[in-house]
Amino acid sequence: MIRTAFLTLAAAGLVTSASAAQEQEVYVETSDLGAGVYMLSTGRGGNVGLSVGEDGVFLIDTQFAPIAPYLDRAQRAVSGDRGVDMVLNTHLHGDHVLGNEYFAEAGAIILAHESVRPALENPVTAQLTGSTPDPLSGGFLPTVNLVGGETLTLNGQTVRLHHEPSAHTDGDIWVQFVEADVIHAGDLLFSGWFPYIDLDNGGTVEGFIAGMQAIADAAGPDTQVIPGHGPMSTKADLEASIAMLSESRARVAALVADGHDYQAVLDAEPLADFHDAWNWGFITTERMIWTLYRDITGEIPQR
């Protein structure tokens, strides 16, 4: 079942000054994954997970502040108009945490890996879309600091929280709803797209591949995988991303081993056959090569 809500920021009075935002339309698409678990998507920030049941309302990631009220409205439509009790941030990026304050002020507690809170309080200044370069405080900050390996018993589900060190960032948590057979991968899966790997916040290519592999190992043929970005996915989509990224890394590493500098690697077009399927606006083929080169050499090439 897919339920789509069509709303506008201006109509709700959230934007009072004349701006392009007044014309913004926020669609929240609610996908029912069974057993009280849902995916909420807007196409603007990371995909949101939702578990609803007798124990409460559990939200995974909060997108951006102006979108949070729409996420809340969408979850209320399936939770019997209850508020959110608990939020988990899969990692530190702005498109996953900037709605936190909205839910915290309404009474939700916020969980994240223990590295997330200090990173939000003292962010690295990385000029990266979705990062949080301004310090955050108060209701934006997680108050339950996880190390990974925790298990929640919630809404009839065994909910396992897995930490991947040095993957998309250094604080990625992915979430497994065991009985529902649903996994929220956080940004360890950009399904069908070249992945963003945040080297400035502790991410590494090897760790990202290992993180995807850990999720694939936990998934079965029928597991529904919520990606951080992209459409509802499966174990096969994870395996395709693992194969693409592993091959891409090997090709760039071979060129580097042959003595190619960054420009020579670019000129060799090592990812040409992946371009049509995996290139997208944020992580272009060139930026994927840049990330791989930087990860392999430790140098930061000029772009």
Scanning residues 13 to 72, which ones bind Zn ion (CB under 5 A)? Answer: 46
DSSP label of 122: S
Min CB(280)–Zn ion separation in Å: 13
**Which among 93-101, 140-148, 211-219, 269-277 is the span making contact with Zn ion, rule CB under 5 A?**
93-101
**Which among 207-215, 216-224, 225-233, 290-298 is the span making contact with Zn ion, rule CB under 5 A?**
225-233
**Taking CB under 5 A as the rule, which mask of x and - marks residues 181-200 in contact with Zn ion?**
------x-------------
Min CB(23)–Zn ion separation in Å: 24
Nearer residue to Zn ion within complex by CB, 3 or 27: 27
Helix extents (H) in 4-65: none
Q: Is 171 in the site for Zn ion (CB under 5 A)?
A: no
Nearer residue to Zn ion within complex by CB, 116 or 255: 116
The correct pick among 26, 57, 67, 95 for binding Zn ion (CB under 5 A) is 95
Backbone φ and ψ of 88, nearest 5°: -115, 130
Nearest to 76 by CA among 100, 40, 112: 40
Nearer residue to Zn ion within complex by CB, 94 or 270: 94
Beta strands in the chain (DSSP E): 2-8, 25-34, 37-41, 48-53, 56-60, 86-88, 109-113, 144-146, 151-154, 157-164, 172-177, 182-184, 224-226
Nearer residue to Zn ion within complex by CB, 131 or 224: 131
- 25/136 Cα distance (integer angstroms): 26
First to last CA, the chain: 44
Helix (H) or strand (E) holding 115, with range, is: none
CA 108 to chain centre: 20
Nearer residue to Zn ion within complex by CB, 49 or 228: 228
Nearer residue to Zn ion within complex by CB, 64 or 70: 64
Nearer residue to Zn ion within complex by CB, 46 or 202: 46
Nearest to 92 by CA among 58, 42, 142, 161: 142
| Number of amino acids touching Zn ion (CB under 5 A) | 5
Min CB(283)–Zn ion separation in Å: 11
Q: Is 93 in the site for Zn ion (CB under 5 A)?
A: yes
Q: Is 164 in the site for Zn ion (CB under 5 A)?
A: no
Min CB(158)–Zn ion separation in Å: 26
**Which among 138-146, 179-187, 273-281, 291-299 is the span making contact with Zn ion, rule CB under 5 A?**
179-187
Beta strand 157-164 pairing with 151-154: antiparallel
Scanning residues 263 to 302, which ones bind Zn ion (CB under 5 A)? Answer: none
**Which among 17-25, 48-56, 80-88, 227-235 is the span making contact with Zn ion, rule CB under 5 A?**
227-235
Residues 74-89 as b or e (16 or more Cβ within 10 Å = b):
bbeebbeeeebbbbbb
Beta strand 151-154 pairing with 86-88: unpaired
Query: Within 10 Å of residue 298's Cβ, how many Cβ atoms?
Result: 8
Residue linked to tokens 């890394």: 249
Nearer residue to Zn ion within complex by CB, 173 or 180: 173
Binding interface with Zn ion (CB under 5 A)? 46, 93, 95, 187, 228
